[in-house]
Structure 1
Amino acid sequence: MAPDKRMKADERRRLILDAAIEEYGRSGMHEVSTEAIAERAGVSQPYLFRLFGTKAGLITAAIKQHTDQLRERFREAAENRAPDQSPLEAMGTAYILLMEEDPNSMRCQLHTWGAASDPEIGPVARETYRDIWRDIAELSGATADEVRDFMAQGMLLTVVAALDLTEMYGDPLAVVKEF
């Protein structure tokens, strides 16, 4: 789908990053094609390089956008939770719903952590993971052990869902209620 020529630059950038998240989630850092990203976003491949410089520059920008979206989802969930729901429970539910709505979201995360040895991806992978961790701690008021357990459960849910082995885990929403 070609973007509207009157689209503002920040809207076009977001469209490109959304396309990059989708393609990166499917393929990972080394297999993702800038040609496929450009085609999905409805822009030329040279335009991607004008905006982001390199493929790694594009992917790191996409990782940051993806993380910002996840952090915002957690923030909204914690702030708008039901009175009988803990912040961790609300954020866990929001994460599970995100995985159901957008399976590439979890794959994007897995590819990011898997590419952490890449000199350009590694720093952004560590930075974004730390940002998520800090947000969860701040939004929930949880102890360090509770945040660690929450992150561990989230990682397990991500891997189980990516492998389509949900029958091994049971109902993920039931697990969230433990928080």
Structure 2
Amino acid sequence: MATGKRMKAADRRILILEAAQEEYGRAGMHATSVEVIADRAGVSQPYIFRLFGTKNDLMAAVIEHHTAKLRQAFRDAVDQRDPETSPLEAMALAYLGFMNEDVNSLRCQLHTWAAASDPAIKDVAQRTYREIWEDIAELSGATADEVRDFMGHGMLLTVLASLDLTDLFGDPLAVVKEY
């Protein structure tokens, strides 16, 4: 009789999504192997397919999972900010923290946008990007121009961080203070 606790299905699902995000961030959608994801997560390939259906469905779930974490980080930052900190500044600081947590999460974003012409992920890529954009506008009350500027800085930081070239940006905290 086993004495260890069984992992709940919801926790195992998150474990798989995190493993898949890591591998997707490293290799992109087409080069990511479900076998490698299964090994990283400590589950079988058939279990992943039972849970998600297809590899494309798994990748779509990874994109949604990643986006949900980012959106929650933005909401938390705005909710918990100092009254003297603008919502955009709070979200910018949250994004810097998000960037520093795991560069593969940023590479996951880049792979998603690069593969957005693939019919398997086009809809989820467009929808999740739009959700982030709309959250920023709603949470901040920013104008369309301010949201574009914010997203532009975020995109540049994402590219530079994924290339390990953030020094080219200068001091991101100085840019944050502009918000």
TM-score, with normalisation over the residues of structure 2? Answer: 0.95
Where does 1:18-37 land on structure 2 (aligned, <5 Å)?
A: 18-37=18-37
C-alpha distance in 2 between matches for 1:177 and 1:39: 43
Corresponding residue for residue 165 of structure 1: 165
C-alpha distance in 1 between matches for 2:174 and 2:106: 20
- In structure 2, stretches of 5+ residues that fail to align are none
Corresponding residue for residue 135 of structure 2: 135
- Misfit runs of 4+, over 3 Å: none
Corresponding residue for residue 102 of structure 2: 102
* Count of equivalent residues: 176
Where does 1:43-54 land on structure 2 (aligned, <5 Å)?
A: 43-54=43-54
C-alpha distance in 2 between matches for 1:28 and 1:101: 19
Query: For residues 56-93 of structure 1, what are the alpha-carbon distances to aligned partners after superposition, in whole Å with 9 as ceiling and x for unaligned?
Result: 11010011011000000000001111121100001001
By how many angstroms is 1:118 displaced?
Answer: 0.6
Residue range with higher mean Cα deviation, 116-125 or 166-175: 166-175
Any idea what SS the aligned residue of 1:30 has? coil
By how many angstroms is 1:5 displaced?
Answer: 6.0
Corresponding residue for residue 79 of structure 2: 79
Any idea what SS the aligned residue of 2:129 has? helix
Query: For residues 3-51 of structure 1, what are the alpha-carbon distances to aligned partners after superposition, in whole Å with 9 as ceiling and x for unaligned?
Result: x761111111111111111110111001111111101111001111111
C-alpha distance in 2 between matches for 1:155 and 1:59: 21
Corresponding residue for residue 155 of structure 2: 155
TM-score, with normalisation over the residues of structure 1? Answer: 0.95
Any idea what SS the aligned residue of 1:142 has? coil
C-alpha distance in 2 between matches for 1:155 and 1:44: 35
Letter in 1 for 2:124: V
Letter in 2 for 1:52: F
Residue range with higher mean Cα deviation, 163-172 or 51-60: 163-172
